[in-house]
Amino acid sequence: MHIHILGICGTFMGGIAQLAREKGHRVTGCDAGVYPPMSGQLEAAGIGLIEGYGLDQMALNPDVYVVGNAISRGNPLIEEILDRGLPYVSGPQWLADNVLDGRWVLAVAGTHGKTTTTAMLAWILEEAGFSPGFLVGGVPINFGKSARLSGKSGDSPFFVIEADEYDTAFFDKRSKFVHYRPKTAILNNLEFDHADIFNDLAAIETQFHHFVRTIPRAGLIVANGAETALDRVLARGCWTPAERFNVATGWRLDGDDADGSLQLKFGTEIVGSARWDLNGAHNRANAVAALLAARHAGVPVAAGLDALSRFQNVRRRLELRGVAQGVSIYDDFAHHPTAIAATLAGLRRKVGEARILAVLEPRSNTMKLGVMKAQLPASLAGADRVFCYAGGLGWNAAEALAPLGDKVVVEEDVRALVHRIAAFARPGDHVLAMSNGGFSDIHEKLLEVIGTPRASHFVVDL
C-alpha cells in the first residue's frame, strides 16, 4: 500500500511514517519548514519528502492520504483531495487501526513530561526483554529513533505511546489520545495549554475524562496524586483501578541531584535505590510513573530502577549541542512557563554559580497568542540574562518581559539575536536555547559565531 502523509515532519506524523514503512508500506510525505531531527530520521528510513503542498503531488496517486493535525481547510492539497473524493484518514485513527489494534497499549498523558516519561517506560520494558514498540514525541537517545513496531522479538504485544491531548485533525476535533484505547495509562500532570483549541483548563479536563472513559476495568491508571486537576478528572467517573504517586502514603522517588542517587519509597518504606544521570523533581515524578506503569505490565520495580540507571534521556531535553570558546550551548524543547522554569532550575543545579543565558523562542500556538506572557518573567527569573526572539509575535515581548529589568534583550531577527548573545557571552557561560521548533538552527549559528576567535565576543556588554 502507498501512504502519502500530509504534515510528515511533525514528531507524531513522522513516527507514523516510520511505523508504516516498517510494516512494509511505501511511504511518501510533504511538509513546510522541514527541520531536524525528524527530517534526518525520515530520509534515513528511505521515506521520500516533498517540500510544500503543491497539487503536483496528486500524481503520486497513493492508496490513502494520512492527514496531520497541522493541516487546515484551505490547504491546496487537502482541498483537492476533498474535491476528488479521495480516501483520507487522521494520523491517530490510522495508528489505532493498523498498529495498536490487539496490543497492550501503555499511554502517557499530561501537560509536561510526556516525551521523557514515554521514553523511560519504553526503555524499562526494553531492558526487561519485552521488546516493546513505541511512538515518542522526540528521539530517545537509548533507541536512536522516535518510533518502531517492535524490538528484536518482532512480535511483542506491548506498545508505548505518547498520548497527546491536542486535537486529531481538521475533521476530528477530539484529542488524539481517545483513539489509543490503552490498557495502562499514565496521567502525569495537567495545566492549561493549547489556548488555540481549548478555552480553559476545564475544557482540557473534559478531554482527559474522555480518555479515562476508554480505559478498561482490567487496566490501570497511574495518576499524579499531587495534581488537583487530575483529582477533578477522576472524580467525574473512573471505572479502572487507579494507583497514585507523589502522595505521602503512596509511591514517590526521592533523590539527590548532586550525586544522582534515587530512592523509591512507598510511604516511608524504602523499596529500592539506584543512580542516574538526570536531575530534578519533575524527572523523578516522570520516573516513578514509568516504574509503576512498567510494573503493571510485569516488570518488577527493582528491575525498572536498574534500567533507569542506564537511561540517557531524549534529544532536545537539556541537550548539550556543543562548546565554543568555553561557552556551552544547550538545546531544550521547553515552551510552557512551567517547563521553562523547570529546565532552568535543572541547568542551575548542574552548573552552580556559572552564568546562564536563556534564549527563548515563544513559538507554540499558545505562546503566539500571548495567553501566558504574564507568566514568562517568573519562569525566566533563574537566568542571568534573557534573550527573546520576537519575530512573528502578535504581542510586545519587550513589554511582557519588562519585569526582568535590564537583563532582557529582545530581537525580531535571529541573526541579530545570535550576535547579541555572542557579544555578551564569555568563557564558562551556559547558553540555553528553548523552543518547540527548529529555532532557525540557532544552536549551530551560535557555535559558529562564538567559535570565531574575536575578542569582542567576550568583552562587549549589553
Q: Mind listing the pLDDT tens digit of every residue in the chain (462 residues)?
A: 999 999 998 889 999 999 999 999 999 999 987 666 677 778 888 898 999 999 999 999 999 999 999 999 999 999 999 999 999 999 999 999 999 999 999 999 998 889 999 999 999 999 999 999 999 988 898 998 889 998 776 789 999 999 999 899 999 999 999 999 999 999 998 987 777 788 889 999 999 999 999 999 999 999 999 999 999 999 999 999 999 999 988 899 988 877 888 999 998 899 999 988 887 888 899 999 999 999 999 999 999 999 999 998 877 777 888 999 999 999 987 778 888 888 898 888 888 899 999 999 888 777 777 778 888 899 999 899 999 998 888 888 888 899 999 898 888 899 999 999 999 999 999 999 988 877 878 988 999 989 876 534 433 333
214 phi, psi to nearest 5 deg: -90, -5
CATH topology for the 319-458 domain? Protein-Tyrosine Phosphatase; Chain A (3.90.190)
As a dihedral over the C-alpha atoms of residue 129, residue 135, residue 140, residue 146, rounded to 10 degrees, the angle is 120
Contact 108, 120 (CB under 8 A): no
Distance from the Cα of residue 6 to its chain's centroid: 20
Neighbours of 394 (CB within 10 A): 7
Contact 435, 360 (CB under 8 A): yes
Largest CA distance in the chain: 66
Residue 22, judged by CB atoms within 10 A of its CB (0-12, 13-18, 19+), counts as middle
- Cell numbers that stand for 80 in this block: 483537492
pTM of the model: 0.83
Q: Parallel, antiparallel, or unpaired for β 327-332 and 319-324?
A: antiparallel
The CATH classification of domain 2-91, taken from the options 3.40.50.720, 1.10.3720.10, 1.10.10.2520, 3.40.50.620: 3.40.50.720
Domain(s) of CATH 3.90.190.20: residues in the chain? 319-458
Closest CA to 210 of 179, 178, 232, 238: 178
Q: How far apart are CA 295 and CA 449, in angstroms?
A: 48
Cα atoms in the 13 Å half-sphere on the side-chain side of 300 = 5
- Cell numbers that stand for 185 in this block: 495509562
Q: What SS3 state is found at 151?
A: coil
Name the packing angle between helices 114-127 and 301-308 (round to 10°).
110
CATH topology for the 102-308 domain? UDP-N-acetylmuramoyl-L-alanine:D-glutamate ligase (3.40.1190)
What's the confidence (pLDDT) of residue 455?
37
CA angle 44, 50, 53 (to 5 degrees): 150
Domain(s) of CATH 3.40.1190.10: residues in the chain? 102-308
What's the confidence (pLDDT) of residue 206?
96
CA angle 418, 422, 428 (to 5 degrees): 130
What's the confidence (pLDDT) of residue 462?
37
The answer to whether the Cα torsion of 68, 73, 75, 76 is positive or negative is positive
Taking phi over 0 as left and psi of -120 to 50 as alpha, with beta for the rest, 280 belongs to left
- Cell numbers that stand for 382 in this block: 533563574
Contact 352, 452 (CB under 8 A): no
Outline where DSSP puts E strands in 182-241: 184-187, 220-224
What's the confidence (pLDDT) of residue 35?
63
Domain(s) of CATH 3.40.50.720: residues in the chain? 2-91
